[in-house]
């Protein structure tokens, strides 16, 4: 073998070793990056879950408040109807309806 051939073989071996090292380094970096991404995605998911829980609790509270207000409005309407009946018990029901439409 000539010196040129030996140098070419050494350079080829060095290039192959460098390529193998680069691939190994890339794989390690890629795995680390995937782990970082997975952690970030888990954190985002936990944050969104907490936000969804808060929104659900707020919605349930608003629904309960609306139900209570509806009950109060119905009670008030019944009281007003009873008061109106006490004030004018002889009034036929159709007369009020006719007055409103006229």
Q: What pLDDT is recorded for position 90?
A: 74
Enumerate residue ranges in the chain where pLDDT < 70: 91-102
What predicted TM-score, i.e. pTM, was given to this entire model? 0.50
Cα–Cα distance between 2 and 9 in angstroms, integer?
11
As separate numbers, helices (DSSP H) first and strands (DSSP E) second, the chain gives 2, 0
Q: What pLDDT is recorded for position 5?
A: 92
Q: What pLDDT is recorded for position 94?
A: 53
Both tokens of residue 11?
Answer: 């350079």
Q: What angle do CA 32, 34, 40 make, to 5 degrees?
A: 105
Q: What pLDDT is recorded for position 28?
A: 78
Cα–Cα distance between 94 and 99 in angstroms, integer?
9
């Amino acid at each position: 073998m000539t010196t040129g051939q030996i140098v070419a073989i050494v350079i080829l071996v060095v290039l192959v070793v460098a390529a193998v090292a680069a691939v190994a380094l890339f794989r390690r970096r890629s795995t680390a990056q995937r782990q970082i991404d997975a952690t970030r995605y888990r954190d985002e998911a936990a944050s969104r879950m907490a936000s969804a829980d808060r929104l659900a609790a707020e919605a349930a509270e608003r629904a309960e408040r609306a139900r209570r207000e509806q009950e109060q409005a119905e009670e008030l309407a019944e009281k007003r109807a009873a008061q109106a009946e006490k004030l004018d018990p002889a009034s036929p029901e159709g007369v009020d309806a006719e007055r409103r439409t006229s």
